[in-house]
Amino acid sequence: MEETPVRLAAKPSWLLTQLAVHAHRLASEGFGEVGGRGYHYRILAALAESGAASQAELGRRCTMDRSDVVAALNELAADDLVERATDPHDRRRNIVTITPAGRRRLRLMEQALDRVQDDLLEPLPLEDRRTLTLLLTRLLTHHQRT
Amino acid sequence: MEETPVRLAAKPSWLLTQLAVHAHRLASEGFGEVGGRGYHYRILAALAESGAASQAELGRRCTMDRSDVVAALNELAADDLVERATDPHDRRRNIVTITPAGRRRLRLMEQALDRVQDDLLEPLPLEDRRTLTLLLTRLLTHHQRT
DNA sequence: TTCCAACATTGGTCTCGCCAACTATACGAC
DNA sequence: GTCGTATAGTTGGCGAGACCAATGTTGGAA
Q: Output the domain CATH number for residue B47.
A: 1.10.10.10
On strand D, nucleotides with any atom < 7 Å from a protein CB are: 7-13, 15-22, 24-28
Q: Has residue A9 been placed in a domain?
A: no
Tell me the residue range of the domain where A111 lies: 21-116
Say if residues B43 and B63 touch (Cβ distance below 8 Å): no
In a domain, A127, yes or no: no
Q: Which residue of A has its CA nearest to B140?
A: A19
Does a structural domain hold residue A126?
no
Q: Is residue B32 part of a domain?
A: yes
Interface contact B123, partner A, CB < 8 A: yes
pLDDT at A3: 82
Looking at the partner chain, which of A121, A140, A142 has a beta carbon nearest the beta carbon of B122?
A142
B chain contacts of residue A121, beta-carbon cutoff 8 Å: 12, 139
Nearest-angstrom CA–CA distance, B47 and B54: 10
Count of the separate structural domains present in chain B:
1
> A2, A8, A13, A98: which to substitute to probe chain B, counting the most B Cβ within 10 Å?
A13
B82 bridge partner residues: B98
Domain-embedded: residue B3: no
The gap between A93 CA and C30 C1' (Å) is 28
Instruction: Specify the DSSP class assigned to residue A10.
Output: T
**Range A119-122, long-range pairs (CB < 8 A, 24+ positions):** A119/A26, A120/A22, A120/A23, A120/A26, A120/B12, A120/B13, A120/B16, A120/B139, A120/B143, A121/B12, A121/B139, A122/B142
Q: At what angle do helices B55-62 and B38-50 cross, to 10 degrees?
A: 110
Residue B15 lies in a domain: no
- A125 vs chain B: nearest CA distance in angstroms? 11
- The answer to whether B116 contacts chain A (CB < 8 Å) is yes
CB contact under 8 A, A8 and B139: no
Distance between CA atoms of B82 and B130, rounded to whole angstroms?
Answer: 34
- Which DSSP helix (H) or strand (E) runs through B95? strand B94-98
Query: Distance, angstroms, CA B68 to C1' C12?
Result: 13
d(CA A82, CA A48): 11
- Taking 50 as the pLDDT cut, the residues of chain B under it are 1
Question: What residue in A sits closest to B50 (Cα-Cα)?
Answer: A5
- Sheet of B53-54, strands arranged across: B53-54, B94-98, B82-86
**Inter-chain CB proximity A50 and B3 less than 8 Å:** yes
Per-residue model confidence (pLDDT) at position A146: 74
How many residues comprise chain A? 146
Structural domain includes residue B68: yes
Domain contains B144: no
Helix (H, G, I), strand (E, B) or coil at A97: strand
Q: Which long-range contacts (CB under 8 A, 24 or more apart) does B137-140 make?
A: B137/A9, B137/A15, B138/A123, B138/A124, B138/A128, B139/A19, B139/A120, B139/A121, B139/A123, B139/A124, B140/A15, B140/A18, B140/A19, B140/A22
Cβ–Cβ below 8 Å for A50 and B5: yes
Structure confidence at residue B145 (pLDDT): 83
Distance from A79 to chain B by nearest Cα, in Å? Answer: 22
CA of A67 to C1' of D12 (A): 10
Comparing alpha-carbon positions, the chain B residue that sits nearest to A24 is: B17
pLDDT of residue A145: 83
Nearest CB to B117 within list A11, A46, A124: A11
Whether A140 has its CB under 8 Å from any CB of chain B: the answer is yes
Please report, in tens digits, the pLDDT of each residue of chain A (146 residues total).
478 999 999 999 999 999 999 999 999 999 999 999 999 999 999 999 999 999 999 999 999 999 999 999 999 999 999 999 999 999 999 999 999 999 999 999 999 999 999 999 999 999 999 999 999 999 999 999 87
Torsion of CA A44, A49, A53, A55, to 10 degrees: -40
Q: A106-137 burial by CB neighbour count: b if 16+ within 10 A, else e?
A: bebbbebbeebbebbbeebeeebbebbbebbe
**Which of A 73-102 lie inside 8 A of B, CB atoms?**
none
